[in-house]
Amino acid sequence: MTDKLTPVSHEITRIGWIGTGVMGLSMCGHLLDAGFKVSVFTRTKSKAKALLDKGAVWAESPMAVAHNSDVVFSIVGFPPDVREVYFGEQGVLRGLKSGAVSVDMTTTSPSLAVEIADAARGQGAFALDAPVSGGDVGARNAKLSIMVGGDDAVFQAVLPLFRLMGGNIVHQGQAGAGQHAKMCNQIVIAGTMIGVCESMVYAAAAGLDPTKVLESITKGAAYCWSLENLAPRILKGDFAPGFMIDHFIKDMGIALEEARRMGIRLPGLDLVERIYKEASALGHGRDGTQALYQALRKMSIG
Amino acid sequence: MTDKLTPVSHEITRIGWIGTGVMGLSMCGHLLDAGFKVSVFTRTKSKAKALLDKGAVWAESPMAVAHNSDVVFSIVGFPPDVREVYFGEQGVLRGLKSGAVSVDMTTTSPSLAVEIADAARGQGAFALDAPVSGGDVGARNAKLSIMVGGDDAVFQAVLPLFRLMGGNIVHQGQAGAGQHAKMCNQIVIAGTMIGVCESMVYAAAAGLDPTKVLESITKGAAYCWSLENLAPRILKGDFAPGFMIDHFIKDMGIALEEARRMGIRLPGLDLVERIYKEASALGHGRDGTQALYQALRKMSIG
């Protein structure tokens, strides 16, 4: 396999990109800026305009993108979207050539990543799962954390491209391991979010000045990214995303499904998912994750 | 009141100290190093030896300490200990002189802090609640975060002494507000701990290399003090405290009791408290809070 791949790694010139949301636009833009030829597909062609203006070439389907490419990247929405992009009638796997590599950077299920990798291998191609964290700012500044699953030789071949998008790139293990690592990330965030939001609910109920509370607690053992970055937004009544509640519910659902499959219980994550679902039911689905505070307050006060 | 206090604030020369655990020893040591006369009481006299060697004078009871002092500090164990130290037959309130100040630095219930403040006021004296965070290292290096409740003039009078012990001193509001702020701190920590420990349980079940997972997730939106400082201890099998599970259960119990009293629900904290109680029942009560991981793994695997 390494032999088969080596030529690819020295000749990655044609890149494919599927999915041009906020993240994809920035990430693909870095590859174009580096001088790569990129063919692009996304569900709504108008959303690819910025990339086409930069010299990307439009392709009519994921299959067509794959057909044109040594390495195809995808970053789309939900697991069913990923499934359609790869396994659909006009999907990546119909176009992926022997020796080529597909890289799904969507946060999706580890099991689906394994399915894709198996299917790619079955046709003499390769697949990596490479979800990211760092948000729109990380994407724009090419400082993403990229968590990669798949064969090491394939990871090494694609690494120069990852370096154009990310600042912290770690090969986590075999197919699916990138997605699993991303789930670990989201599980920690779920804990920090419930802690931060309940703390702010408590502070309000106790009649404290929450700004002073943050002054006392932000630098010590309670420190977390969410406390520093999202608690001040809560206090300002700023519930814009950031990271959207409905997307976070998707991620937590994946982690819980995998946990069930692996036979482990994650009671904390389970609770946080349920509360976020209540937040979504209350109309906060398209707000940022910090809007958990509003749902908790509503639930708390009863 | 300010008039009554002003003389005290200019004449704090005699200090009392009650409680010489790991925290109290360091904190009182800083006051002695600054040249203050300190009388000391603690339940087990031998534990005060280091302070007596530094020039502190032994007193036979909290009452005797208070009788000798312009400002009396206490940092003991659980709320019933605080109650005994203040309201007992040989308690601080029996000895506290008019115009003097008591400062309880134990993490205890906000309601109890209000009771103490009311009782002190009833005899022409003053009380502050001033719990800390920052642990033994913060105490040793005089870098504690000190969260203070009580009248502002009293806070200002004692501030020079707080500065000898802490690096981040915030007046949170009236009596009990210091304790409430500390509860906010503990509520966030409860969230980070469940997130970090469940994440590590998931990583192990998924067959990931947890060190690589930490490499990917420690610097981004999942960052928290617990992830950076306690997750590596979990991976090394180091479950020594740090901060003891049974003490954390005490703190969470106080926060939940106050929440009930204030009519709010904290479902996340409630769950984390229950899991920590299971951890204690499994024999981890005197381990560090990171031993939640072991209890979760046991519960998870079933």
> Do residue B247 and residue B106 come from a single domain?
no
Judge residue A70's burial from the number of C-beta atoms within 10 Å of its C-beta, 0-12 exposed, 13-18 middle, 19 or more buried.
buried
Does the beta-carbon distance from A181 to B216 stay under 8 Å?
yes
CATH number for the domain including B93?
3.40.50.720
Single-letter code of the amino acid located at A178: G
Is pLDDT above 70 for B10? no
Please tell me which of the candidates B191, B199, B272 has its beta carbon nearest to residue A196: B191
A141, A174, A207 - which closes a domain: A174
The full DSSP string for A125-165 is -EEEE--EESHHHHHHTT-EEEEEES-HHHHHHHHHHHHTT
* CA B156 to chain CA mean position, Å: 21
B261 touches chain A (CB under 8 A): no
Do A157 and A203 have their domain in common? Answer: no
Q: How far is B89 from chain A (nearest CA, A)?
A: 32
Rounded Cα distance between A200 and B184, Å, is 7
Note the pLDDT of residue B3.
Answer: 39
B-chain residues near A300 (CB < 8 A)? 264-266
Q: How far is A59 from chain B (nearest CA, A)?
A: 33
Choice among A45, A54, A182, A277 that is catalytic: A182
Q: What is the full DSSP assignment across A163-184?
A: HTTEEEEEEEESTTHHHHHHHH
The pLDDT tens digits of the residues spanning B237-262 come to: 999 999 999 999 999 999 999 999 99
Alpha carbons B69 and B96: distance in angstroms, whole number: 8
Residue B178 and residue B155 in contact, taking contact as beta carbons nearer than 8 Å: no
User: Beta strand pairing status for B37-41 and B14-18?
Assistant: parallel
In angstroms, the CA B20 to CA B232 distance is 30
State whether A191 and A222 are in the same domain. Answer: yes
Quick one: A163 and A228 in the same domain?
no
**Would you state the pLDDT for residue B1?**
37
Q: Which range is least confidently modeled, A21-25, A139-143, B6-10, B295-299?
A: B6-10
| CA–CA gap between residue B248 and residue B189 (Å, rounded) | 10
DSSP string, B233-246: HHHHT----SSBHH
Q: What is the pLDDT of residues B193-208, one digit of tens each?
A: 999 999 999 999 999 9
**Side chain identity, residue B88:** G
Rounded to a whole number, what is the distance in Å from the CA of A246 to chain B's nearest CA?
A: 17
End of a domain among A159, A174, A189?
A174
Q: Does one domain contain both A214 and A236?
A: yes
Query: A227: which chain B residues are within 8 Å (Cβ-Cβ)?
Result: 188
Please state whether beta strands B132-133 and B144-149 pair in parallel, antiparallel, or not at all (unpaired): antiparallel
The reported pLDDT for the residue numbered A300 is 78
Three-state secondary structure readout of B93-144: HHHCCCCCEEEECCCCCHHHHHHHHHHHHHCCCEEEECCEECHHHHHHCCCE
Q: What is the pLDDT along chain A (302 residues), one digit of tens a residue?
A: 333 444 344 477 899 999 999 999 999 999 999 999 999 999 999 999 999 999 999 999 999 999 999 999 999 999 999 999 999 999 999 999 999 999 999 999 999 999 999 999 999 999 999 999 999 999 999 999 999 999 999 999 999 999 999 999 999 999 999 999 999 999 999 999 999 999 999 999 999 999 999 999 999 999 999 999 999 999 999 999 999 999 999 999 999 999 999 999 999 999 999 999 999 999 999 999 999 999 999 987 65
Residue given tokens 């965030």 in the structure block: A189
Amino acid residing at A250: K
Closest CA to B38 of B62, B71, B6: B71
pLDDT of residue B2: 39
What does the DSSP 8-state code read for residue A285? Answer: T
Give me A14's structure tokens. 């044609």
Q: Is B275 on the interface with A (CB under 8 A)?
A: yes
- Report in angstroms the alpha-carbon separations of B131 from A1, A21, B34, B260: 61, 47, 21, 21
Residues paired with residue B213 on neighbouring β-strands, in sequence order: none
A302 touches chain B (CB under 8 A): yes
CATH (domain of B203): 1.10.1040.10
B87 and B41 share a domain? yes
B149 within 8 A of B176, measured Cβ to Cβ? yes
Query: What does the pLDDT read at residue A36?
Result: 95
Task: Give the domain-ending residue among A155, A174, A193.
Answer: A174
A140 and A210 co-located in one domain: no
CB proximity under 8 Å: B 68-107 to A: none
Q: Are residues B87 and B115 in the same domain?
A: yes
Q: Provide the 3-class DSSP secondary structure of residue B171.
A: strand
Residue A9 neighbours by CB distance under 10 Å: 18
Q: Mean pLDDT, to the nearest integer, of B165-187?
A: 98
Task: Read off the amino acid at residue A167.
Answer: G
One domain, residues B157 and B222: no
Give me the residues paired with residue A59 across strands: none
Q: How far apart are CA B116 and CA B124, in angstroms?
A: 13
Q: Of A51, A114, A45, whose CA–CA distance to A83 is shortest? A: A114
CB contact under 8 Å between B192 and A188, yes or no, is: yes
From B119, B127, B141, B251, select the one nearest B193 (Cα to Cα): B251
CB atoms within 10 A of CB A246: 16
Report CA torsion sign: B271, B276, B277, B282.
positive
Closest CB from B171, B195, B216 relative to A145 = B216
* CB distance A271 to B269 below 8 Å: no
Residue of A nearest to B260 (CA): A300
* Number of domains chain B is built from: 2
- A182 is annotated as an active-site residue: yes
End-to-end alpha carbon distance in chain B? 60
Closest listed residue to residue B288, CA positions, set B250, B252, B238, B253: B238
* Predicted TM-score (pTM) of this structure: 0.95
Q: What tokens appear for A86 in the block?
A: 């790869």
Q: Are residues A18 and A137 in the same domain?
A: yes
Average of per-residue pLDDT across B169-190: 98
Whether residues A170 and A186 fall in one domain: no
Domain, as residue range, for A213: 181-300
Residue type, A194: I
B195/A187 Cβ within 8 A: yes
Q: Taking Cα atoms as reference points, which of A80, A88, A75 lies closest to residue A130?
A: A75
B187 and B86 part of one domain: no
Q: Among B114, B141, B152, B202, pick the best mutation site for testing chain A contact (most A Cβ within 10 A).
A: B202
